[in-house]
Structure 1
Amino acid sequence: MSVACDQAISVAARSTRSLDLVASAVPGIHVTYAAGEEIHGEGEPAIYGYRIISGVVRTFRVLPDGRRQVEGFHFHGDVFSMELGINYELSAEAVADTKILVMKRSLIDTLLQNDPAVARELLMWSYQTLARAREQMMLLGRKSASEKVASFLLQLEINPGGEAVAIPMCRSDIADYLGLTVETVSRVLAQLERTHAIDLPSSRKIRVNSREKLAALAGM
């Protein structure tokens, strides 16, 4: 994965970056996960919290009809699956080869009881998580397919006019995040390329030519 890609932070991921006090104060171990490897499953006991050292993670749930709904993508520096309940609400998998700091939940709970600053930080993180969930509901419920894909590309914060960036997630990941089919995502990306808002050197590489065009297409 390129450095540019590893540092392309989505809105969903950026909102989880506020737990620096927790991650720096709680000892943990470094674990490496291969691309596609499960980190934890939905409904399993929430024994650990996680912070990404390098790589990308997707969090998701499988719906009753068997479809997958990707909740978000998490990047370098992000904390994820810091549950307030006793079980994980989502599953988590490595999108690419990923190194993670794994922290015991019991140590985090002890720190929260003894450090008011950490408790405030976790409360703010909870508010941000709720705000992110509302943003995702708006993205899925109110926007057209073209607006959803354009919004997603804006979230990646790829610098316009630079080199093409290899994004780690495949089109099925993007489709499951946006509530679309893979075919629709591919069709919209081709449309965006025809408008010269982006270039697609390959299925996993994107060059952003104009954030202004993307913003207009996203309805912003």
Structure 2
Amino acid sequence: MSRSNPSESQGDLDILGSPRALPYSVENPCAACEIREMSICGVLDCEELDALIKILTRQTFETHDPIIDEGESADFVFNVTGGAVKLFKLLPDGRRQITGFLYEGDFLGMAMNDVYSYSAEAVGDVSLCRFNRRKLEGLLDTFPKLERRLLSMASNELAQAQDQMLLLGRKTAQEKLCSFLLSLSRRAETRGYDPSILHLPMSRNDIGDFLGLTTETVSRTFTNLKRDGVIRLLEGGRVQINDIDQLQDMAEGA
């Protein structure tokens, strides 16, 4: 079962992992939210947000806390407002395959059926806005632009799944890791952060699980990229990209 903690947190983490105070009040949690423009509520004006606030619950999770569990009733959907979330599916032999990572502004819990098709777990401290799925669906008729935003997010999710299939099936270990770093760089840039400084809160084991590599291969590839001067490994799980063009070439096998 998923576990929730619907209490106000004392701070959020941005995509670079820096703590920051919550930018809004409990009475109006959306008015000054710094990630509003990149989330589902970015299409709503201040008056329209009032309807969304009525079905919103703030939640916080700690490292390894389950957020949703595969197969359980898909009663809620979530907007990630801070930290990182890893998505995974359970395999018949008990292992799990990580299928993606979500960051602030991303949407979690969309389901075609009445149950979740994957599980989600907190990577470090995570803050979320939780919405009752049925109540949110009820707002879509009132606010068609909200429905269009959700469809756009679903389309992006499908495109990412297709990219992941290519990543797992057609690339070498080095190409996989370089592609992964480039995807984080592009994500950071679209959110207004420095695309050359990446925060990787997930473990090397998680990265390997996501990319279809062993932990040893991931660590060795990071070391090789550092040795060649393509990246620099910083404290706090951060990676600095020294040569984005070379990283791109290596991702493409050039």
TM-score grouping bracket, smaller chain normalisation:
0.7 to 0.9
- Which of the numbers 197, 203, 217 marks the counterpart of 1:184? 217
Contact kept, 8 Å, 1:18 with 1:125, in 2: the verdict is no
SS of structure 1 residue aligned to 2:124: coil
Deviation per CA, 1:92-127: give whole Å up to 9, x if none.
111011111111001112112333323333333322
Q: CA deviation at 1:166?
A: 4.4
Number of residue pairs aligned between Structure 1 and Structure 2:
209
Equivalent in the alignment of 2:60: 32
- Which of the numbers 147, 152, 155 marks the counterpart of 1:119? 147
Equivalent in the alignment of 1:146: 174
Equivalent in the alignment of 1:41: 69
For 1:161 and 1:50, how far apart are their aligned partners in 2?
A: 29
Deviates more, 1:203-212 or 1:81-90: 203-212
Contact kept, 8 Å, 1:198 with 1:208, in 2: the verdict is yes
What letter corresponds to residue 117 of structure 2 in structure 1? Answer: E
Contact kept, 8 Å, 1:140 with 1:178, in 2: the verdict is yes
Deviates more, 1:70-79 or 1:141-150: 70-79
Contact kept, 8 Å, 1:6 with 1:76, in 2: the verdict is no
Contact kept, 8 Å, 1:6 with 1:75, in 2: the verdict is no
Alignment of 1:38-187 (within 5 A): 38-157=66-185, 159=194, 165-187=198-220
Q: CA deviation at 1:19?
A: 2.7
Residue 197 (1) aligns with residue 230 (2): yes
For 2:195 and 2:146, how far apart are their aligned partners in 1?
A: 37
For 2:119 and 2:106, how far apart are their aligned partners in 1?
A: 16
Residue 5 (1) aligns with residue 6 (2): no
For 2:135 and 2:229, how far apart are their aligned partners in 1?
A: 51
Gap change, CA 1:85 and 1:211, over 3 Å in 2: same
Contact kept, 8 Å, 1:193 with 1:200, in 2: the verdict is yes
Q: CA deviation at 1:43?
A: 0.6
What letter corresponds to residue 215 of structure 1 in structure 2? Answer: Q
Equivalent in the alignment of 2:40: 19
Q: Report which of the two structures shows the higher radius of gyration computed on alpha carbons.
A: 2
SS of structure 2 residue aligned to 1:156: helix
What letter corresponds to residue 178 of structure 1 in structure 2? Answer: L
SS of structure 1 residue aligned to 2:209: helix
Contact kept, 8 Å, 1:38 with 1:94, in 2: the verdict is yes
TM-score by length of structure 2 reads 0.74
Across the aligned residues of Structure 1 and Structure 2, the Cα RMSD in angstroms comes to: 2.5
Identity of aligned residues (%): 37
Contact kept, 8 Å, 1:160 with 1:210, in 2: the verdict is no
SS of structure 2 residue aligned to 1:96: strand
TM-score by length of structure 1 reads 0.85
